[in-house]
Amino acid sequence: SRGIPGSGGEFHEKTLTDDLDDLHDTVVAIRQHYPNASDVVLCGLSTGAFLTLAYLDSTRSSSCSILPTCAIVFACVDDIPTSKVLDFTPKQISDMNKKGFCTTDFYPVGCNGVPERKRLDVGYLRSYDKFWGATTMAQRIKTPV
């Protein structure tokens, strides 16, 4: 995901739509690196589960010849716009709306449980509003959730 150390981009600029683009780029890279692989399975947890469904539902993936073969999702929220309250505290939401950013704990690999305080811009919060509900997306891609 953009903004994660070694990925390029800045953490404070990340959005869910950027995460969706990163997922697409990952599927492309897997298909290019393993051209003889018959199956690519996406597995997502929580926000990753929602993004997996969003990826399958996106117009980009529907016209793409490198679609994953299967997707498995766990603990997927049904309504990403209202799930903001699961990912952010009331103070963080207030700070984003008033100041344009909030601070959050980030646990990079190798941090030994000691988080880094990172800035996260309001664009991340607003990106929640750009998605359908999980049930709607599952119906559109003709799969049970």
Per-position b or e across 69-92, b if 16+ CB within 10 A of its CB: eebebeebbeebeebbeebbeeeb
User: How do residues 102-140 score in pLDDT, each as one tens digit?
Assistant: 999 888 777 788 888 999 999 999 999 988 777 777 777
User: How do residues 3-58 score in pLDDT, each as one tens digit?
Assistant: 665 566 788 888 898 888 888 888 888 888 888 877 888 899 988 888 888 888 77
What is the pTM for the complete model shown?
Answer: 0.77
Distances (CA, A) of 9 to 1, 6, 72: 9, 9, 28
Residue-level pLDDT at 126: 94
